[in-house]
Amino acid sequence: MKRKNLIGLGIVAPAVLGISGITAISARLYDYAFRRVDYVPETSADKQKYADDYYDYVNWFHSVPSHQWTLHPSDLENRVEATFIPAANPNAKTTVIIAHGYKGNGETMSNYAKMFYDMGYNVLLPDDRAHGNSSGDYINFGWIDRQDFAEWSHNVVNNIGEDSKIIMFGVSMGGATIQMTSGEMLPPQVKLMISDCGYSDLRSELSYLLKNQFHLSPTIFVPIINAINHHRLGFSIDDVSSVKQLKKNTRPFLFIHGEKDVYVPTYMVDECFEACPEPKDIWIVPNASHAESFWINPAAYKAKVTQFIKKYLN
């Protein structure tokens, strides 16, 4: 959410609004943040310099052999799609399930998919609900998606075999999704988890963005946004907590975060790291903005991830 969007949203100072005006603005804010969009928004200006490399990865994604997997195929309201990329070695037993970011889809994770593919792994790239080819009208910020990711892990076991090894990985909202998935009952084949710049909890993230991007009072707007979400999606934004879920985690966990992240502030990864039981590791990437850690130095990123995997996969 950027301040330049305030004019388009028709937002004015709360002091000149009555209750009905505040409610109307809250509804606009909710639709702006939660309603699905059937396109991938333009990336931030600080990452435009990586555009050529990004599209090289996207071209790879469309050229590599892949298959479509589906959850709930006969349920139009809960149908969830994923792209499965088998490893070059047909006998590969390790699969990485990758969670994409806010208003993205599996394709937008092409760079990470190729990184893991080049490491010899199968890759599964779901489209979250209200994203890509999956159903849904409103983004749930990983809370319902976490249950889908648990189901995806069972699908991997069913398709690849009981001797599967599963790594879960996500970036931004996808990082939070993996953090929240860590607190679920998962099959023993899920061996470790990696999150890059995931948020600590949804109330804190929304409050931070309202205050720092929109210069609006979270105290005024968040309770109404929460009420709208409870009506639309059936849960409170206070339920959406990486910190609470990570306390139940039983697997090795690597946290990655950019030092200069102003979208998900770095203090949030400290909260997540503190909540997570051992074994765990954390890497704060110098000079990296939000979701930029890979792009600053792909080789260093791959080396850090490889080191963690080699230490704990077996």
Domains of the chain: 1-34+218-238 (no CATH), 54-201+240-312 (3.40.50.1820)
**What confidence category does residue 13 fall into, taking pLDDT thresholds of 50, 70 and 90?**
low
Q: Say how far apart CA 213 and CA 3 lie, in whole Å.
A: 5
Using a 10 angstrom Cβ sphere, with 0-12 exposed, 13-18 middle and 19 or more buried, the burial of residue 253 is buried
Question: Is residue 17 scored above 90 in pLDDT?
Answer: no
pLDDT at residue 183 in the model = 98
Q: Say how far apart CA 258 and CA 51 lie, in whole Å.
A: 19
Question: Is residue 45 scored above 90 in pLDDT?
Answer: no
Residue 152, strand partner residues: none
pLDDT at residue 207 in the model = 97
Question: Is residue 25 scored above 60 in pLDDT?
Answer: yes
Indicate the range of 36-45, 84-93, 297-306 predicted with least confidence. 36-45
Question: Is residue 237 scored above 70 in pLDDT?
Answer: yes
Question: Is residue 3 scored above 50 in pLDDT?
Answer: no
Question: Is residue 162 scored above 80 in pLDDT?
Answer: yes
Across the chain, the runs of DSSP E, i.e. the strands, are: 67-71, 80-85, 94-99, 122-126, 165-171, 190-196, 253-258, 280-285
How much is the mean pLDDT over the chain?
94
Sheet strand arrangement including 190-196: 67-71, 80-85, 122-126, 94-99, 165-171, 190-196, 253-258, 280-285
Average pLDDT value for residue range 90-111: 98
Question: Is residue 199 scored above 60 in pLDDT?
Answer: yes
pLDDT at residue 109 in the model = 98
pTM (two decimals): 0.94
Q: Say how far apart CA 35 and CA 217 lie, in whole Å.
A: 21
Q: Say how far apart CA 20 and CA 95 lie, in whole Å.
A: 50
Average pLDDT value for residue range 122-140: 98
